Amino acid sequence: MPAQTAQILDGKALAQKIQLQLQNQVRSLQTKIGRPPGLAVLMVGDNPASAVYVRNKEKSCHKVGIASLGKHFPENTSQAELEQVIQQLNQDERVDGILVQLPLPKHLDAVSLLHTIAPHKDADGLHPVNLGHLVRSETGLRSCTPAGVMKLLQEYQIPLAGKKAVVVGRSILVGKPLALMLLEENATVTIAHSRTQDLVGVCREADLLIAAVGKPQLITAAMVKPGAVVIDVGINRVEDEQGKSQLVGDVDFEAVAEVAQYITPVPGGIGPMTVAMLLQNTVTSYSRTFGIA
């Protein structure tokens, strides 16, 4: 019997479609508002991976018509200086979204910087006020990566109501908010993590399995129920025998693709969706400021 090959959930294609919609939305709003939406991405130090992410975000902003008001700070910038910059951006009428690029140098407290961002300008959707709105199923800016996962499932019309969803990973960035979003869609949700007993058994029960841990190829074919939907949020840089580095996810893609019905690739799955949702949050915040949304 030939190996079943899962259908690819193409996040890259959907992200491009969303960017096109946002571009049209920005064009029509700008004539009413008189300025473009603005996103300020703050980066501290010289982390090469962060520099690539920030460049990609700026390129995407440019495509959609969002003014990129980012700032790059030296490694030794103090907490007080950054908090002051965020306070100024909170007051700046040209800025609709503020984002602090992680990871930060060790001497800085990321949580306290996040709390300094005005909730309505929280482009990453991670401020406690916005997470509180999510818990209560109220409108608010949503965390970008989980929102990107939900948007991709919706695009491919994958039913969630009554389905068993297992989220592997409990971070505040992905695992916890994603579990809440799945609950909103009436899935039965289990969060699995490093202390979960019989992780293989728990995962094998899932109609929808989401890996968000940051461990290369943690999810094997033996952990996947035949015909399940598998979403890979992990992005890990690994080196092969020749010393060449490549990006892989938390899922053993080749093996799992033979068991699952749908699967996201890495790269080209959830990564582009995260950026698309960041742009979406910025445009949402921009239109709300003017009472248009």
The kind and range of the H/E element at 171 are none
Domains 33-118 and 143-271 share a fold: yes
Q: Give residues with Cβ within 8 angstroms of 79, minimum separation 6.
A: 107, 108, 109, 112, 113
Topology at the third CATH level for domain 33-118: Rossmann fold (3.40.50)
* Ligand-binding site membership of 170 (annotated): yes
pLDDT of 1 > 70? The answer is no
Amino acid present at 253: F
Cα dihedral: 276, 65, 38, 57 (round 10): 40
Rounded-to-integer distance, Cα 251 and Cα 217, Å: 4
- Look up tokens 């300094």; give the residue: 116
Domain residue limits, the chain: 33-118, 143-271
* Ligand-binding site membership of 171 (annotated): yes
Tell me which of 57, 121, 151, 225 is the catalytic residue: 57
Give 139-148 pLDDT, tens digit per residue: 999 999 999 9
Rounded-to-integer distance, Cα 164 and Cα 171, Å: 20
CA-based R_g, the chain, Å: 19
Cα separation values, 76 from 114, 117, 197, 213, Å: 19, 21, 43, 30
16 is catalytic: no
The percent of residues above 70 in pLDDT, for the chain, comes to 98
* Ligand-binding site membership of 169 (annotated): yes
pLDDT of 3 > 90? The answer is no
Topology at the third CATH level for domain 143-271: Rossmann fold (3.40.50)
Look up the pTM and report it.
0.95
Tell me which of 10, 124, 232, 252 is the catalytic residue: 124
Tell me which of 10, 19, 96, 101 is the catalytic residue: 101
pLDDT score for 49: 81
Give 89-131 pLDDT, tens digit per residue: 999 999 999 999 999 999 999 999 999 999 999 999 999 999 9
Rounded-to-integer distance, Cα 19 and Cα 197, Å: 41
57 is catalytic: yes
